[in-house]
Structure 1
């Protein structure tokens, strides 16, 4: 015979499953809206607040835009892969930009001192760029082709998906406008 506690637990689990399904569907829909569209406006600064780059000005390069934060465990895992991509493909035209979303730049600097980044690091202190790209998970990565079109969106980081990302980078680099 079921107890009242078991009924409550079953209801909570069922509602949580529905909620997670909705979040998954919504994030996929948002990502699908941006894929194969022009890169949205995005102006970034250095961690010290100096202007550094306007993503739209990088046409002609393949851009890997990676939004991250110091408190994000998958971001820690992604940095060695991003460093590898940088060393492997930067001379072929890949520009990796790690966009930090920490509220305190000191947190970003501690993270970078501990884990290192061989690629460009920028800040989005107003989070306007993150809003324009519809960043809802950490890390969130966007591969932008030489014409400025978002060709691939990846949320989170799983080491088992690095081969797929590497192949997409190679395809974008090999496609000359």
Structure 2
């Protein structure tokens, strides 16, 4: 009986350690997260993608539709990047740890900027979560969306394709 308990206790400890290592590795992957002056980070990101079509997305960890939008944003980033397209997302959580946890659960293959004071959201007069806008190659806002609806994905992609063709 003692051998049985010792063996199972050892397995529990081993799996706990393994889980902690995997969690730490996932946390390291989510480090592509700007924690600097939010406005400066956005200006730098937009400058880096000057002349491209940019999908600018505002999200928060508590936002259920935001969780649905991340896989799609990863897909469009991969699909259109070679044509001069980029996704930049702005997180509005006041608590950095909540945003990090979200990114571990919903990885991003695009730029993520942390805006805990909502400076960027205020500048763009964001009304709800998620909110997004399409910025044309000329740097001007071409479309605005409040909410994310999977049934509208074909319309969102059509807007992107129209801007990319110009």
What TM-score do you get using the length of structure 1 for normalisation? 0.69
| Alignment gaps of 5+ in structure 1 | 1-45
- The corresponding residue for 2:119 is 128
- Higher gyration radius (CA): 2
SS, match of residue 55 in structure 2: strand
Q: Give the aligned length.
A: 131
Unmatched 5+ stretches in structure 2 = 1-32
Q: Is the 8 A contact 2:57 2:89 kept in 1?
A: yes
| Counterpart selection for 1:49 from 36, 44, 53 | 36
Aligned positions of 1:1-177 closer than 5 A? 46-49=33-36, 52-54=41-43, 57=47, 58-175=49-166
Shift of 1:126: 2.8
SS of 2:42's equivalent? strand
> For 1:10-67, what per-residue CA distance to the aligned partner results, in whole angstroms no more than 9, with x for missing partners?
xxxxxxxxxxxxxxxxxxxxxxxxxxxxxxxxxxxx4432653306534311110000
Of Structure 1 and Structure 2, which has the larger fraction of its residues in helix? 2
RMSD: 1.8
Whether the aligned pair in 2 keeps the contact of 1:69 and 1:100 (CA below 8 Å) is yes
